[in-house]
Structure 1
């Protein structure tokens, strides 16, 4: 079976980092994505989707260090179903995304982190399987080299 989710949007809250007893880092936050469309009446409408996301390992530490509410990101991961029992004893559930890789989409000027070491748009993605961040390469201003994420999808997988 195939379970892959790709989302691009803005963080709705600051990342929350914690460490498991094993020492592994876990970071929780949420992303908002939007879609603009015309209704049958011709009226412009917008649909917003809010999704909880979880980073693990080095990606969790990077997310906590460089991201904040409003940051633009692209994440790839897998959909999972979280189930729990609330305080009143009712069973609850929600879908969330377990992130495998992260790409920051904010440019340095927009990030406003006050940190010159923050990765800029077009730099490498950060995955859970990377032990260390790659060395930072200086970017030339006005070079016009804008890279967009590639999506490897077969035409047979598109539902329309």
Structure 2
């Protein structure tokens, strides 16, 4: 076992030091699942020369019990809401999201994290985190339709 491990290490070192310009691909995972409620109706934007994108916000909540009753049911309940920016680029999914995702809807979004930078209107460089959606599962009707 030790020999095979050292052989693998040597192979990696040889690959690293090799002057061969071939690309070594590694598997990696960038996967996100969010279950929450939509914070605003989606908007569709299109930058000149690029494909359109549907954008909406999604709220997820984290709840915990604090205080003396952390292990019993008598503590105070606290809640933190986190807002996520979701972008949908896939042509079919983009159109479905724009048409059927509504404020207050409960949905499951599957996709990947994307980090980027942009310059705001005051010429300040800002960072943005976005969920690039691959799939959306509708879990409930719009709250407004039930009342």
TM over 0.5: yes
CA contact (8 A) 1:6 1:75 kept: yes
C-alpha distance in 2 between matches for 1:87 and 1:30: 21
SS of alignment partner, residue 10 of structure 1? strand
**Alignment match, 1:47:** 80
> Alpha-carbon deviation of 1:20?
5.5
Asked which structure has the greater RCO (Cα within 8 Å, sep 6+), the reply is 2
Residues 9-28 of structure 1: pairs in structure 2 closer than 5 A: 9-19=36-46, 24-28=51-55
Q: TM-score, normalized by length of structure 1? A: 0.62
Equivalent residues of 2:115, 2:130 under 8 A apart? yes
Structure number with larger C-alpha Rg:
2
1:83 aligns with 2:117: yes
Name whichever of 34-43 and 58-67 sits farther off: 34-43
Provide the C-alpha distance between the structure 2 equivalents of 1:88 and 1:24, rounded to a whole number of angstroms: 26
User: Deviation at 1:28?
Assistant: 0.4
Higher helix fraction (1 or 2): 2
Task: Select the residue among 3, 26, 29 that pairs with 1:2.
Answer: 29
Is 1:92 the counterpart of 2:119 in the alignment? Answer: no
Aligned CA RMSD, in angstroms, stands at 2.2
Distance 1:100 1:111, change over 3 A: farther
Q: Look up the SS of the partner of 2:78 in the other structure.
A: strand
Distance 1:84 1:25 in 2: 18
Structure 2 unmatched ranges of 5 or more: 1-27, 69-74
